Amino acid sequence: MTEEHDHSHYHGVDKAEEHLSVDEAVKLLLESIIPVGQELVSTFKANGRVLFEDVKSPIDLPRRPRSTRDGYAVKVTEDTEPGRSFKVIGDVRIGTIPKIVVKDGEAVRVATGSYMPKRANAVIMVEYVKVHEKELLANKAIKVHDNILSPGEDMTKGQLLLSKGARIHPHHLSLFSMLGIRKVKVFSKPKIAFFSTGDELIDTSKPLLKNNPAGVYEATRPFLASMISNLGGIPVDLGIARDNFAQIKSKMIKGLKYDALILSAGSSVGERDFVTSAALSISGVKILDHGVAMRPSSPTGIASYAGKPLLLLPGFPTSAIISFFVFGSPAILKLSGNAILQPTTIKARLVEDYNGKAGLTHFVRVSVIKENGEYKATNTRPTDAQYSSWLHIANGVAVIDEKGVAKKDEMVDVFLIAEIP
């Protein structure tokens, strides 16, 4: 059996450390993904989108010299001491190009943002002058170029503003607008299909059936729909497939028509292997890895189809959610053209020891608070994947590396999943 073939099959929780590491598996998945296409959108509709190309300034900003203060524009041949007097010869309104030409010893009233009159080379702030019958007395030293923004001093024509792969935020829209950029080229929003599998699952829109006492509400799809939207994708819910090879394969074929497919359950040892066998029966699907050296979520499977990611998440909601954070998020971000694929982490101090299994990366659900200027993380209990109570307690996930243990007061990386109180 080749190493590649050995890695494509899951061997169980007790042998999880024999599988690929998290970093290796994530790298393998991301290398298989081809980002989606592009489209041109209005600046007003670009919030949250990902740039398909670099954005450069089309103009100098400002285009003409502007005053940065309310005051008086003057012309001086050199820096002057307090007490210099000037004759006020007019004023400049914002939004007009002044025709006044200022000579030495003359002053023109200007406002913040006004274009500078010709030959004026300094602005005296209004609070440092006294004016009487058009005679102005400066009570402060004047330096050439005081309170003036020169053409291109803020931004220059051709200057790189944002690079391809950057996510557009609301303040960027203000930047684009002031530069006259009305449309930007962005990556299209990827359509991400998903479904869950299992005879016992009941859609939350339906009541628990009396004749199905073993039934449980399906909890992963609402999470996936919301996360896909948060990441800039378009969720496509394919519902629930029963533990039936033909039904699972049919939904897989439908899902692979979209830009990505995510499904949960049916990937652990001891389960009927309909998911993996259905995937392998579809021409073009390549199982990249099945089983990752991590806890929870070691049964995770990753596959590709024509540059599209196919994720096989574990069935327990805890395992499915953590698996999505680790694999689904970067996969969708890569598909969407993002330059940054991993979540921003904070450093937090553990409140207690964590003792896991060596050889596995542990993703520990924690409650994070800020105390005395630093973050502190408390493990939520119970910690096993079959428990879901952490969902209303945790606001972060601490990452414990392959050594498997972390001592009280040790600083660890935490990615946040909710606000810190």
Both tokens of 56, joined, read 């450069």
d(CA 90, CA 88): 6
Q: What is the pLDDT of residues 258-304, one digit of tens each?
A: 999 999 986 555 555 789 899 999 999 999 999 999 999 999 999 99
Q: What is the pLDDT of residues 347-361, one digit of tens each?
A: 999 999 999 999 999
Q: What is the SS3 assignment for 11?
A: coil
DSSP 209: P
Query: Is the Cα dihedral 201, 397, 223, 209 positive or negative?
Result: positive
- Phi, then psi, of 319 in degrees rounded to 5: -65, -40
- Yes or no: domain 39-57+163-187 corresponds to CATH 3.90.105.10: yes
Whether the per-residue pLDDT at 385 is higher than 90: the answer is: no
pLDDT for the residue 13: 60
Q: Specify the higher pLDDT residue, 182 or 269.
A: 182
Q: Which amino acid is at 288?
A: L
Instruction: Tell me the average pLDDT across 98-103.
Output: 95
Q: To which CATH superfamily is domain 345-416 assigned?
A: MoeA, C-terminal, domain IV (2.40.340.10)
Q: What is the SS3 assignment for 298?
A: coil
The candidate with the shortest Cα–Cα distance to 90, out of 114, 65, 113, is 114
Whether the per-residue pLDDT at 213 is higher than 90: the answer is: no
CATH class, range 3-36+189-335: alpha beta
Cβ atoms of 71 and 126 within 8 Å: the answer is yes
Name the average pLDDT for the chain.
Answer: 92
pLDDT for the residue 271: 52
Cβ atoms of 411 and 346 within 8 Å: the answer is no
pLDDT for the residue 101: 96
pLDDT for the residue 208: 65
CB neighbours of 215 closer than 8 A, spacing ≥ 6? Answer: 200, 201, 202, 208, 209
Q: To which CATH superfamily is domain 66-149 assigned?
A: Molybdopterin biosynthesis moea protein, domain 3. (2.170.190.11)
pLDDT for the residue 4: 36
Q: What is the pLDDT of residues 39-72, one digit of tens each?
A: 999 999 999 999 999 999 999 999 999 999 999 9
d(CA 271, CA 12): 11
Global confidence as pTM: 0.89
Q: Where are the domains of the chain?
A: 3-36+189-335, 39-57+163-187, 66-149, 345-416
pLDDT for the residue 171: 97
Q: What is the SS3 assignment for 205?
A: coil
Whether the per-residue pLDDT at 190 is higher than 90: the answer is: yes
d(CA 57, CA 161): 7
Q: What is the pLDDT of residues 309-361, one digit of tens each?
A: 999 999 899 999 999 999 999 999 999 999 999 999 999 999 999 999 999 99
Instruction: Tell me the average pLDDT across 372-390.
Output: 92
Confidence of residue 93 (pLDDT cuts 50, 70, 90): very high
> CA angle at residue 11 from 10 to 14, to 5 degrees?
130
